[in-house]
Structure 1
Amino acid sequence: MFITLLKSKLHRVKVTQAELNYVGSITIDEDLMDAANLRENEQVHIVNNNNGERLITYVIKGERGSGIICLNGAAARKAQVGDIVIIIAYTMMTDEEARTYKPTVVFPDENNRLVNG
């Protein structure tokens, strides 16, 4: 039997763009992807702290060091530039694996940059 647990989380990043006329997804700065152990095309859940919207989409690699968090396609209707969102990825594992598993949680600064320390 498998259970679903938190794999990765980018906590409280700021939406920098919303592009309605795009195929769909969320573009994330590659530095943030690496820090949060996210992969291109990986499914993620987006939670908007400003309006309560929740959606599921997939990751597109954004320019490294840019701080970009861009909701694309229909997802662009779920947030405005400046909104604070949480980006969450889940994984499945056995109960035995889950007993020692630790998720990756990243707390970027207000400009979507990694904080040293």
Structure 2
Amino acid sequence: MIIEVLKSKIHRVKVTQAELNYVGSITIDEDLLDAANIIPNEKLQIVNNNNGERFETYAIKGERGTGIVCLNGATARKVQVGDILIIMSYAAMPVEQAKQYKPILVFPDDNNRLLK
């Protein structure tokens, strides 16, 4: 049996931009993507802590070191600049492998930068 488990999570990032007139997705600082082992175009689940919205989109690489977290297209309607998000990706694997798997958890600072 194959199940889906949490692969990685970026916990509590702040929305820096929302661009309605863009072809969907979420733009994320490349430093955060690398730290969470998320690749461009990977499917993501987003949870907005401010309003309870949950939605899926895909990752776009943002400029490294900028702290950018920008919701693009229709998802821009689900956030406000300054909202706090949890970004999650999942992986499918056999149950026995899933029991041993440890997800990557990233906890950025208040400016969406990696803690040193």
What is the TM-score normalised by the length of structure 2? 0.99
Q: Which residue of 1 aligns with 2:31?
A: 31
2:22 counterpart of 1:5: no
1:107 match: 107
User: What TM-score results when the alignment is normalised by the length of structure 1?
Assistant: 0.98
| Distance in 2 between residues matched to 1:99 and 1:109, nearest whole Å | 30
CA distances 1:50-100 after superposition (whole Å, capped 9, x unpaired): 000111000000000000000000000000000000000010000111121
Distance between the aligned counterparts of 2:82 and 2:100, measured in 1?
A: 36
State the AA in 1 paired with 2:108: P
Matched residue of 1:108: which SS? Answer: coil
- In structure 1, the partner of 2:83 is 83
Alpha-carbon distance in 1 for matches of 2:100, 2:90:
16
Paired position in structure 1 for 2:98:
98
SS at match of 1:99: helix
Match of 1:58 in 2: 58
Answering whether residue 68 of structure 2 is matched by residue 68 of structure 1, we say: yes
Unpaired runs of 5+ residues, structure 1, are: none
Consecutive unaligned residues in structure 2, runs of 5 or more: none
Q: How many residues align?
A: 116
Query: What secondary structure sits across from 1:85 in the alignment?
Result: strand
Runs of 4+ residues over 6 Å off in structure 1: none
Aligned sequence identity (%): 72
Q: Which amino acid aligns with 1:50?
A: N
